[in-house]
Every structure is written in structure tokens, then in C-alpha cells.
Structure 1
């Protein structure tokens, strides 16, 4: 029976490949011997005999390991059978429910004595993890077991690792006296998270087996090997959960992080799959490596990798290290654990992406082959962890000491941020850091620090703490890749080779939240500790107001108040400009106005108070509507908001993650429902029932074409609001619906593309560099950007940017740069800052800095009775660009009130 542990919601790390083992029985010994079928060769873990008291795959599921891709339900049933058979050596603990209601759990395996002391183990690891609060570390290092966390299947279509997890557990339980297993069980606690993404795996397995015919096809072109949209990689909300460790937006991730913060396992492995023609990858990682990782962490993964090399050589498995899969971004399953002191790594196996796959060299590769390799890597990891038990414990303890010392030694020891200008954002950021296990304090009275005054309620994070390196890497505006790595990327770019930057290079949380976090060398204030249950409390003044209630606009508390009010059929106005009431209080542009006389059909006083308490919003009751500055409450500049019906493009042609992230931000962060419409239906769909249509990032040309663009544009002209982002903006710009154009790269050469394929004028090439310059097309795109944070200036005199700060930060990726819209066609409402200020965080090519400067980020174009609101990048990227949420909310909830049509 799975035990529930109340440590949050979660998911687990990883995804990967499978194993096929056939089990034969010796009637005389009543033991079984594990074998693996791989290209007609029998492979086994050496010197292993299995007892009959532990149920096999066949006993419970009716098939052998690697013979079939196990579903979530089958996996769960098998682990429950293992726990019933050996409850003193394996314990199952539930840590989350997926969005679709599936159970996520981890299994803990160890010797009976180690498993019986699991709670004591957690307590002792917390002592090692907090040396400034406890002592007697040497006794703990001498006596504690090591711990390894094996995370499987974070990407649901990376299938082999889950079956490997099942057989790993069986192998450890059914052969406890085998020498390797004995060492593992006596010296370690093995945590197995067998399936971090049950919703994605269920999507994959159901579709895969629905396509199988008379026999499984090995052809990579077959339907079996080509998933429909969305594939099984992502979870229910289409999140790539291996990128969710930083923002913790998904319940699967939250539960997993809570569990890992409880036990702080010393070694953490994230098992994945890659293309089926590849072999197997494990650490050491490729460059760049995050500079806040320690030498001992890197060394330990090298030791474990060497152990794998010995086993892979013995089994005859090809493998590689170092060439790809870096360790720079702190938001992966193999990087986040390093910031509490673990040694962590990604493993990647070539995927069969089904039961059988033909490689390009003609070899037949089976699901069992991939499971086998994942199983061997899993056991090898646990073996190496047991072998280096004392070193790993000592290095973990030393990591905490060095983190505290590093914080003490820096001049930017404290990070201080006030909720004064964005209450909801500041509270969410503080709560997020507490979820990460960071010690966060909140001032209980005003204080001064570094020549600045801060109000009561200000949050303070001291980097001189065990999680100090995590604080530094997530709160610093810039984390640099190594100089040598950057030099090599610039060399490759000069040769017109692809760079080796794998993911985003900027991720500063204060920047992404648009929170002003100041650094200070010394802070003295009365504080209280903050937990991950920190609540934003409502502030309601004069709840018995005679005339109206006003909710200042500008944070997510106000956005949530608005969406809940609209869903309760409250009539709400919103001011286009700031205004000052009699008595002198000024309210920002966008502020919500709820007039009592217009809402007599409900107990508005009670409802407003309830909504404020549920959202944490500020609500001021007013007894007079007299305005002494700005638009009056009855002015045309305080329009009544529509309760918008919102649709968005869904399915083939949309980016899976962009569609999912966008829907999640609206539904789960803003609390408002969205209707998803398949892209294929948008060309002739009746859109008249919707006020807003969102086209997330995607590739719409082939699916919609000119006729689709024309149909949507006609709906806009009749009063609709079209919101586009990134690739969707490209589509409507290329279709001449939006009056902007994408730019070619700016080149030093004045050459123009020549339509003539005949002779051209002769040229002189003076050097190799001149040759490289000559071969670049004049109509080539700007260089591709993996992902940086960029500074964006915001127009403060337009209703669409009401409540948005003058300066925000947006994420820039890809190679599209747009011309500003002409004044006769629309408005450039947010634009990138100048060349010397555009980069907020990350690494951006110099040419892109120059060309991106002052180019649009947000464009508004009136079309007939409606309008187009175009984001040139993705404001909902990974659902962690919180500082853009008010801007995005304006497009959804304020824009329909500014169309010229009856609603």
C-alpha cells in the first residue's frame, strides 16, 4: 500500500529506455536467472540468482521485462506487488497527483535496518545539510548510509527507464545476497521515482498500441514511431517538466522537490532517451558547467561515470561522455539537486520509441535493448554510490560549509526586495524560494540598509546559508559561461557553424518577476521566517462603502480578483488612465471600479470581501466618486469590461509547449477558462461567439495559409481581439495582416540578392575571413539566440499597458526581429532598449544587440472594429515570465472593452 507523505505535489525527473530480460527457472535450486535478449545475444548481470519469494514481471503482469511498454497502471501494480512481498525492504510513498489524477510515488529500498530508520535518516541528513544549526557531523558521516535518487520518465515518450526502474527494484529485492546488491543495500538507501510524468506516458502508450498492426514495425517512418500532436513528452498542460525545476509550476515538480528536500539524496540521476541511432550518454557533462557547482560534485560524477564505463565495456555497450548535455541551466533534474549539495547527472539512451526500431546502419534495436542499458546504468550508479559512501557524505557536508562561507565572503551577501510595488509578485517569489528550501526572512518593522529605507514586510534572503549557491545563481542578474566556452562559440559562429549553447543563458528570478531585488553587504532588521505556505493577505478598507469599490491594478492579485469577479457576473469598469479621488488618493491606470448601483443583483459587499480574501487583493471602498485629477468614474476613459469568451489555437501547427504554457497561465495562474480550437478548424470556424482568439507560438502557414489568415482577419475587423506571439506573429506579418515585416540580418556588405543565375561581376577575395563573409547570403536571418533576458521599455500612455511598469524584462529566443509598425497603422507599445542596455541577463551576440535595439516587443494594430495585439516573443514562456502577466492580462481582459462592437 502506498504511503502518502504530505510534502507537496510533484513529479519526478526523467525519461528513458527499456530492458528485456527473460527469466528461467531451476527446479532444483528454485531460483531464477535473469537474462537479457539483445540481438540474439544473451546478456545477464553476472553471478545473479533470484529467489522465488519476490514476484516477477510475468507473475504480476504476464510479460517479461522489456517485452512490452508498461503503462502507468501496470507499473503501479507491479511496485505494489513488490511492497507486499518485501515490506521490510521496500516502501512506497506517494508524493503527488498528476493533473489527470494519476498517482506519483517513489520507492525506497534498503536493508531492513536502514529502511526501518528512514525517518531518522531524513532527520540526520537535515543535520548534515544545516551545519550552522547542528554539530557532531563526523559521527553522522561515519554511520549514515549513502543515498541515491534514480528518477525515470520525466518525458513521457522516453519510455525505457520506467521498465528499467521496475526491474531494478526486482533485481535488488530478489537477489539480496548477490555481492553488488549486498553492498548497495547495506550501504545505501535507493530512492526510485519510476515515472515522473504518468499523464505523458499514458498518452504515448495508448497511442502507440493503437497504431500497431499485425506485427510491430521497425520503420522509423511508421505511425508507431511518429506520434501525433501533442506527443507524450509533456504532461497534461504540455509542460516540459525537465525545465520546470526553477519555477515549480506543476504539481508533479512541486511534490518531487519537496521529497528531495526532505531526504537530500547524495546522488541524483535523471534518466532520459535520445535518438535511436545514438548509443548511451552519461557524465562527465559537456561544457558549459554552472560556475556555482563545486569541483567535488564534478569529480564524483566522473567517478560514477568511470564505474559505468567498466560495466558497459563488460556488456559490450557503446557509450560516450562530455560531447553534449551541459550542466549550466539550474532548472533541470540533473542540475537543481547540485544546489543543495548533491552530485547529479543526466543519462541518455538511444530510444527504440516503440518495441522495435531499425537503425540507419541496419541493426534491429529493441525496447528490451534500451531497458537493459538503463538497468545496468541504474545498478552501476547505486553500486558506485555505495562504494564511495563516506566520500559522498563528507563532500555533501563540506558543500554546506563552503556555501555558507561563500556567502559570508561576498560583498553582495543579502538580497532585499519589498512588496511595495508588486505585492503579489514579491510574495510569490518569497514563497517560491521557500519551496526550494531557501531560508527566507520577512521584516516585521521598517529598517534601513545600504543607505535605503525599507518598509515592514520586506523580504530578506541571506546568501550565507547552505542553499546560498542556489540563491546566488537564481538571484544574480548574470551568471557567466566560461570565457573559453564563449571564445569557442564566437569562433564557431565566425566559421558559420552552429553554436553549442543548449538552452537559455539567462534566468534571474527577480528579473523574470520584474521585482527590484537590491543587494547589500549588511542587514540588521527584526524578522520572521517565511514558509512555502506564506499567504498574501487582503487589504479591504471601508467595506461598507456607499458608492464603489476600487482595486488598484498592477499585480496578479488584482488580475485574479478581476477574473473571479467576471465569472461571478460582477459589472466591472477599468480606468484607462490614473486618477485621483477627492481626499487625494491616486489610483494607477487600469484600476478596477465596481459601482454598487450597477451591482444590485448581488450582495456586492460580501462578494467583494470574499474575492479579496481569496486573491489577496487590495480593495478600497469609497463614499464619493468625485475625481479631482484624471478621468471620472463615469467617463468614456473608464469603460465597462466585457466578460470575454477566450479561444486559442490548439493542435498540429502550434508549438506544444507554447500552447500548453499559455493555457496554463490563463487557466491556472489567472483562473479563467479557455476554449481550445484545433488549428485545422480555424479556417472556417464560427468565431463570432468569441471575443479573444490567441495564436500561441507555432507554424501556421501550411495549416491556415492565406484563406485562414483572411478568415481570422475578417473576424477581427468585426470586433475580435487577436493575440499572437512569436511564430504566430510571424505568420500574420508574412500574410500582410499585421503591418510589420521581419528583418534580414544587418550585414556590412551592401550586396543585394541577385535574381540572375548567370555571370556576375568579378571580385577579389583578400583573406579567409573575406571568403567567409562572401558566402553569407544577403537575405540571411539574424543569428539564432538560444534564450536571453532582455530589457523592454513600455509606453505609459496607452490603455493596453495600464498598470505595467515603465521597464520590464522579456525573454528573447530565435532569430526573428521585426520592423516597428508605422504610426498610420498602429502602435509600438513596448520595445527593446538600446544596444548598450538591451541585454538584462545571458549571452547575446553583439550583432543581435545592435539590431534588436528599439525594435518592437508589443504591437497593437486596430483592424476595423477589432484589433491585433502582437507579441514578437513569448510572454508565457515556461510560465515563469511573471513580470509580463499584467501586460498579457490587459490583452485578454481589457482589450475587448476597446473594440467597437456591441457585445
Structure 2
């Protein structure tokens, strides 16, 4: 364990630190005329039938291999070589099946079915004795024993000697990022067909699970997201989508020591770890050591050998628990790694470079023999020992030179508790517990009351408390300690202000359930809790005729918010709905609708799409008795139409996706089943103000003991006492404006309950009546879909110059001591954008002048 608040530079090849080599490892393209070695392409591999030349280094995987001709090539099955073009999902499935049918070293299966009904096919390649159904079942069972710290060490050592490590290769979690699929298929072929020592070195002590595509619907549609509109590299801990859920269940059956997640990006180069900071504090040192000291150097060597441009250590962090690297690392103690290849290069180049990265990594794992399992087992034991002591891992920096500004506090956490004494929260508690159990966390139920001398409820001070029988107890003393802390934390303790994604995701806060922690030595009388079923949402009252209007088909924010809403309506609330367009609204379609929900989207885009006829139709429908519910930015449409007395202004704070406690008026119908407080996911939203009678949900005032933020916040005082939700009567109708998205990524169940109440609940008995308000607009600046760079005034000119050099369009928001640039990325994510990541990296070099950098 290292000192709190200090940089911990992991050592790379040659004994130099990551901090010292940060610049040196940014490899550039070969100079003109340079002669670089090149690994054999797919066609050369397919044609090879002889062993490597005698002058080649032993087990060099990048020389022409000897091959078993009985294993078909891609050309044999689908008529092309891998890399000629991106294969289709059907071609990927066909080729995987053909290799599995031909080779006794390969078995295949389906781990999930996509939203549109496509199978997610995987292959397992290894020694024949291991890849039989019985062999894989035994391996999974033995790995479970290794994960259990209570397994005797002698038994664990014996198990390790007789079983393989598990190496996962996955591609195409974003549908439009295709080359990971094709490269994974090439790796599968070579593992099955190669008869040389390069393949043997991997398969002597490992099996490789190959999942070519994690998002077949997105691949077929050439979209980043799945059919519902979810970014499935943000869905890992919540597991709302069937593709993610089936994948994580398969990971539980064959828990990895290595997980490769092959992506593409807009930037013109290649990224592989080491990662950028921040790194989530409670990830074990073993997987980080593998990433930084084993796999990172192996890829650096391979890419250097072939003069392939690459970069390490910027942009892609290992923090939020929704990624294909952070969840394997935290939940499975695996080396979870994201690979990113430029999407603008030809298919042959993309596939080739992905192949080099994957094979170099697998080769490095193979060279470790059974050390991987020995160290993996030891990490679970160490996690248990930390849990016994109540010790949290500190914040550490693995790449950046900036100081840690927010260290993990020096607290002892030995136990978490979830209260079960509020019947209204039964569904939410059950969902949290089921998610824990389905990541192999032990959960217990108190059979007798327990007095806890230092019980610390979420966002409240500690006090002696007697917890009733029936309370759920989650001890930290278990092999899954890191995952327990990641899911049940009160705060994520972001070490410094750089954000690739949201900064808070505590499960009890997301579901708005009561719970807390203790660092005391306790001996609860408790019984193991059986696996909980997936809870069912109870909908009170008659279901209305419900319409959903997605404002934009191209904006990231609009696509995702609408997708989250449709999934929640279909799969959790069980409410039928009709999708409407602006043209249909203008043509009178609202006559058949009782409630219209408008997900996040630009109000100006909405107003323009409606036209004069649509704006008039929507206004009249509300005044005649319709119920309009708007989410996040779309709420501004109500001000354009004069349907609200509320006003809004631009956020001057930097809150990039944090959970803020809000106060709920118990007299409002929105509060049913919610309680007096909830937690809103706030992400650079507009700041709303309305009359007290029109504000059923508000942010606490300054000095209010309810005020608490989980995650990063700077300038948060702007929100004190402002409106989080506005609820007003308009003629005979009603308008409910959510200033945030209450169904964020479909995992904010606590505030989604408010949304359900807004859709199905009664009108307020008394509320503010909006008169004939004049339509109006405000020059407030939205940060939705935008990169945010906030700096001290002295650095503003330098940021302006960085943006001007790229011809970037940015709105500027000024507040005391801060200048914030809201950079228009054209509705794209930073992954998809060609230069957003580079600008963010350059801005980060301003050091203490940086207030916050956020990439959408």
C-alpha cells in the first residue's frame, strides 16, 4: 500500500517510470523512406505452410507460421481474406462456426441474444481436454474456488498447477467500430490452425475466449449504439441491455485474468494502455501491474518493431464502472484493456494493427505460465484482508504529473448496510442486491437487530443506530471487496478534474434507498441471502395514452435519452407508447395522446421542426388538458411556447455527471414512493428557477444539511435553492419540466420513480397556474453533447488559441474565477471526433490553471 495522495509511478520496461517516459512513448509515424518490418498479412498467413525461418527469434508470432490445412481460412468460408473489407455479422458468425467445426481445439456457443434477436456468438480455443463442456464447467468451478479467499492455500496451489488461465478477446462493442471483430477472427484462426510454438506458448497454459462482436445490431446498422440507442461501453455495471447482461454472465462462468476490448476512434493513430489518470481508487494492484508492466511494454515493443504509430496515457481513463476495461479490472481482478484504432484507415490496416496488439498481448500472457493464476488468486486474498481491516485503496496517479487534489479520506469501512424497512423501496433495494449477487458478492440478512456505534448513512454524519432485523449486510471482508466498494461507495473521490465520463454511480444513491457504512468490529447475527429475482415495477392507476417525441435523429444526447426512455417504458415500467414526429404533431396526432414525453434534445431544433403549425398544436393540446413532460434540455421548449413561468440560465459550475441530493415536496404526487429526498444525476444541465408552488423538487439551500454531492463538483453553489423539477398547470393541462434526465442510462431508478409518477400519477391538488405567458427564449448556453474546458482566466487565451487552431466552434461562459468553453462536436462523442481528444490533452497540460475538462 502506498501513501495517500501521492503519485505511484508504475515501472515500465527498462526500469523507467511512466511519468518519465510519458513523452518518449508517444511514437510517431516512420519518417519518409524508413523501412519498417511488417507482420505477415492475412493472405500470407493463409498461404503459409512451413515453419518460421531459422533466423527468427524463438516463438516469434509475427513470422510466417506453420498451419494445419484442415482449419479453413476466411477465404474458404466467406470468400474474402480478413482485412479485405469489414465482414458482416452473418459472415463473422459463419466463419467462427466453421473454425469451431473443423478444429477439436475450438468450441462455440451463444452467450446472449441482441435486442433485435441476433446471437452473440463466441468461441473458446484451447487444449481439447479443456474446451469440452465438462472441461469448461470444471475450469469455471475451480476458478470460483480460487476467487474464494477461504479456499485453503494448499488446495489453491494444487488447482493452479492443473488448470489454464482465461484470456478474453472481444470486439465491436460500438457497432460502427468494426475492425476488432475481424482481428479477433484472425486471432481465432491462428490459435486454431498454427502448429508452431507461438500458438503453443499461449495455449499450453491458457484458453482464449473470443467474442468477435458485442453489438451485432449496431454492426449491421453501422451505429455506435445498440438497437435501443444505448452506448454499451457505459452499461457494464447496470447490465440493462441483453447483450451486456449475457456477456457479464459468461464472464462469471469463465472469469478472466485478461480482457481485451478492441475499439476504433476518430483520432488518427492507435491507443493501448497504459491508461490516462484518473484510475478508480479501489482497483487491485495486480491487474494494474499487469497492464502497466507486462502488457503495455509488450505492445510497445511490437508496435515499435513495425513502426506503427501509437500513444499511451492520455484520454482513456480507467475510472467509471461502465467500461469493458474498468469492470473486468474491478469486478474480476483482470487486466481490462481498451484498444483504440483510427477508424479512418483502410480495413486492411485497421485489422492488421488490431491483430498485432491482440497477439502481442496474448503472447505476453502465455509467457507468464501459471504466474497469472497465482497472482490473481493472491489479489483476491489481499482484497479480503483489506476488507477485514476496513482499508480502502488510496487515490494514486499512474501517469499524470499533476497533484492529487481529492485524496480518499482516511476512513475505515468494514461493513455496508442497506435498509429494508421502507416498503415503498422494496423494488429498488431488490435491484441493488440482485446486481451485487450477480457479481458474486456475498449479501446477508440480519436475523436480529444490530446496534452499530458509528453507522454513517449516505451523506449524513455518523451516529449510533440500531438496525432492525431484515436489514441487508454486505461485509467488506470478501474476495469481491473492490467491487463492493465500487458499487456501494458514498463518493468516488475523483483525484483531479479530468473526466472521460460521469464521476458518480453509487448503487444505493442511484436507486434512492437508505443505507450506510460502518468501520466498527461487529458480529452480526445474519443469514446468507438467496439470489434475488429481478424486481417488477408496479404501475398504479390506469395507463395513459402515451406518446414519445425524439427531437433529433443525429444528436448523441437526443438518441441516447430517447433510447433510455423507450427501454425503460418497454422493460421496466411496462407502458405502451407511440413514437411521434414533429410532422405528426403538427398534423394533429396529439388528439390521440394523453401524455407526451419529450426526451433530452435541443429546444431550437424542436421548435424549427415543429414549425408554426406544430408549435400551435402543441400549445393548444396542453391548454386543452394534455400533460407535457420534458427531460433536460428539451424543457427549454416550454419557455419558447410560453407554457411555463420558470426561467433558466447557463450552468457556471463544473459538475460532469455527479449525484446531487434533492429535496422532494411530500405534498406533490411526484413524491409517491420516492420519499423526502432523492439523488439527481446532474451533468452540466441548465439551472432552473420557478415559484415555490411550482417546484416539487429542488436543490437544497446553502447551509441545508441535505446538501451533499457524490462525485466531482466545482462552483456548485450556483444550484443552491434552485428548481430541479417544475410542475405547473397550463389551462386545463399540465407541464412537468425535469431539469435533468430522471432516467439517465436507465439506471437512476430513484428519480425514474418520479418520472413514472409524472406519467401515471394524479395532478397536484394545488399548483401554480400559468397564465397567458409570452413565448420567450434565453441566450443560455447548453453543454449537452459538448466538450467542456474550464480554466482560470489567465489561461483562457491559450485555450482559445487551441480551439482556433482547429477551427472549433465554442460558446464561452464566464463566472468569477472561471472561463468555461463549451465546444461543439457536432453531436458526436469524443471517441468519434477527429481532434477532440487531442485538444483535451493539450488543455490538460495547463496544469493548475485547469478547473475541469469533460469529454462527452
TM-score by length of 2: 0.75
Paired position in structure 2 for 1:432: 435
Alpha-carbon distance between aligned partners in 2 of 1:694 and 1:26, rounded to the nearest angstrom: 55
CA distance in 2, matches of 1:170, 1:642: 53
| Counterpart secondary structure, 2:81 | coil
1:701 to 1:59, Cα distance in 2 relative to 1, 3 A: same
Native 8 Å contact 1:72 1:198 kept in 2: yes
- Cα deviation for residue 731 of structure 1 reads 3.2
Tell me how far apart the structure 2 counterparts of residues 557 and 448 of structure 1 sit (CA, whole Å): 33
Q: Determine whether 1:182 maps to 2:204.
A: no
- Within 2, Cα distance between the matches of 1:794 and 1:467? 35
The whole-number CA distance in structure 2 between the counterparts of 1:30 and 1:164 is 21
Q: What does 1:192-231 correspond to in 2, within 5 Å?
A: 192-204=210-222
Other structure's SS at 1:287 match: coil
Match of 1:673 in 2: 576
Structure 2 residue matching 1:793: 3-state secondary structure: strand
* Contact kept? 2:149, 2:384, Cα under 8 Å: no
Q: How large is the RMSD of aligned CA atoms in angstroms?
A: 2.6
1:92 to 90, 108, 114: 108
User: Which one of 68, 73, 76 corresponds to residue 59 of structure 1?
Assistant: 76
1:527 corresponds to which residue? 526
- How far does residue 22 in structure 1 lie from its aligned partner after superposition? 5.0
Q: Distance in 2 between matches of 1:875 and 1:463?
A: 31
Deviations 1:664-684 (A, max 9, x none): 112211111121123454443
Per the TM alignment, residue 535 of structure 1 is displaced from its structure 2 partner at its CA by: 6.8
**CA offsets 1:427-462 (integer angstroms, 9 cap, x no match):** 111111101211111234555444533444321111
Q: Kindly report which structure 2 residues correspond to 1:125-164, keeping only aligned pairs within 5 A, or say none.
A: 125-136=143-154, 137-164=156-183
Corresponding residue for residue 412 of structure 1: 413
Kindly state the Cα deviation for residue 838 of structure 1 after the two structures are TM-superposed: 3.5
2:125–2:207 Cα contact (<8 Å) kept: yes
Q: Distance in 2 between matches of 1:686 and 1:897?
A: 26
Provide the C-alpha distance between the structure 2 equivalents of 1:22 and 1:525, rounded to a whole number of angstroms. 60
2:446 matched residue in structure 1: 443
Which residue of 1 is the match for residue 14 of structure 2?
none
Give the whole-Å Cα distance in 2 for the aligned partners of 1:53 and 1:386: 25
**Is the Cα contact below 8 Å between 1:48 and 1:175 reproduced in 2?**
yes
Q: Which residue of 1 aligns with 2:99?
A: 82
Distance 2:730 2:646 in 1: 14
Contact 1:416 1:519 (C-alpha < 8 Å) held by counterparts: yes
- 1:736–1:31: structure 2 CA closer, same or farther, 3 Å change rule? farther
CA offset at residue 691 of structure 1?
0.5
Match of 2:67 in 1: 50
Check 1:198–1:397 CA distance in 2 against 1; reply closer, same or farther (3 A cut).
Answer: same
1:800 to 2:818 alignment? no
Instruction: Give the match for residue 892 of structure 1.
Output: 759
Q: Cα gap change, 1:558/1:111 in structure 2, threshold over 3 Å: closer, same or farther?
A: closer
1:267-299: CA deviation from partner (whole Å, max 9, x where unpaired): 111111100x42110111001111112333222
Q: Deviations over 1:118-170 (max 9, x none)?
A: 22222221121112144322233344322211121111111111111111111
Q: In the TM superposition, what are the counterparts of 1:481-880 in structure 2 within 5 Å?
A: 481-482=494-495, 486=496, 489=497, 500-520=498-518, 521-534=520-533, 557-559=537-539, 562=540, 572=541, 641=542, 643-649=544-550, 651-652=552-553, 655-679=558-582, 681-705=584-608, 707=612, 708-744=614-650, 782-818=652-688, 820-822=689-691, 827-835=694-702, 838-845=707-714, 847=715, 849-880=716-747
Following superposition, the deviation at residue 378 of structure 1 comes to 1.2
SS of alignment partner, residue 124 of structure 1: helix
Distance apart, 1:646 and its partner CA:
3.5
**Residues 65-116 of structure 1: CA distance to partner in whole angstroms, max 9, x if unpaired?**
1222222211111111011100x20111221111211111321111223434
1:370 and 2:350 matched? yes
Cα distance between partner residues in 2 of 1:881 and 1:288:
24
For residues 159-186 of structure 1, give each alpha carbon's deviation from its aligned partner in whole angstroms, at most 9, with x where no partner exists: 1111111111112112132x32120111
- How far off is 1:648 after superposition? 3.4
SS of residue in 2 equivalent to 1:379 = helix
- Alpha carbons 2:181, 2:213 under 8 Å: kept: yes
- CA-CA distance at 1:45 after TM superposition: 3.1
Aligned match of 2:264 = 273
Residue aligning to 2:459: none
Q: 1:384 to 1:791 in 2, by over 3 A?
A: same
Contact (CA 8 Å) 1:734, 1:741: kept in 2 or not?
no
User: Cα offset for 1:473?
Assistant: 2.0
Distance, in Å, in 1 between the alignment partners of 2:226 and 2:40 is: 27
1:473 equivalenced with 2:489 (yes/no): no
Which of 220, 230, 244 is the aligned partner of 1:239?
230
Of 83, 88, 91, the residue aligned with 1:71 is 88
Question: Kindly tell me: are residues 333 and 62 of structure 1, through their superposed partners in 2, closer, same or farther at Cα, counting changes over 3 Å?
Answer: same
* Structure with bigger gyration radius: 1
Q: Any conservation in 1 of the 2:89–2:220 contact (CA below 8 Å)?
A: yes
Is the alpha carbon distance of 1:123 and 1:558 closer, same or farther for their aligned partners in structure 2, counting shifts above 3 Å? closer
> What residue is the counterpart of 2:836 in the other structure?
none
Structure 2 distance, partners of 1:81, 1:523, is: 57
Distance 1:452 1:24 in 2: 70
CA contact (8 A) 2:284 2:482 kept: no
- Cα pair distance change 1:685/1:841, threshold 3 Å: same
Distance 1:199 1:892 in 2: 30
Residues 294 and 835 of structure 1: is their aligned pair in 2 closer, same or farther, counting only changes over 3 Å? farther
Give the superposition deviation at 1:686: 1.8
Measured against aligned partners, the alpha-carbon deviations of 1:778-808 in whole angstroms (never above 9, x if no partner) come to xxx5144321100100111223333331111
2 CA distance for matches of 1:387 and 1:519? 42
What SS is found at the alignment partner of 1:809?
strand
Q: SS where residue 867 of structure 1 aligns?
A: strand
TM-score normalized by the length of structure 1: 0.71
Deviation at 1:527, TM superposition (A): 3.3
Displacement of 1:655 after TM fit? Answer: 1.3
Q: Is the 8 A contact 2:44 2:64 kept in 1?
A: no
CA contact (8 A) 1:794 1:801 kept: yes
Separation (CA, whole Å) in 1 of partners of 2:582 and 2:217: 23
**Partners of 1:32 and 1:869 in 2: CA distance:** 71
What residue is the counterpart of 2:819 in the other structure?
none
Secondary structure class of the residue paired with 2:649: coil
Cα separation, 1, equivalents of 2:79 and 2:70:
17
Aligned to 1:593: none
Deviation for aligned residue 1:316? 2.1
Query: Measured at CA, do residues 692 and 313 of structure 1 come closer, stay the same or move farther in structure 2, by a change above 3 Å?
Result: same
Any idea what SS the aligned residue of 2:696 has? strand
**Aligned pair in 2 of structure 1 residues 423, 55: CA closer, same or farther (>3 Å)?**
same
Aligned residues of 2:489 and 2:506 also touching (Cα < 8 A): yes
Deviations 1:690-746 (A, max 9, x none): 0011110112413533634433222111111111011101333355433222224xx
Q: Which moved more, 1:455-464 or 1:867-876?
A: 455-464
Aligned 8 A contact 1:449 1:522 in 2:
no
SS in 1 for 2:628: strand
SS at match of 1:94: strand
Match of 2:276 among 283, 286, 300: 286
- In 2 relative to 1, CA 49–710 (structure 1 residues): closer, same or farther, beyond 3 Å? farther
Q: 1:735 to 1:388 in 2, by over 3 A?
A: farther
**CA contact 1:286–1:326 (8 Å) conserved in 2:** yes
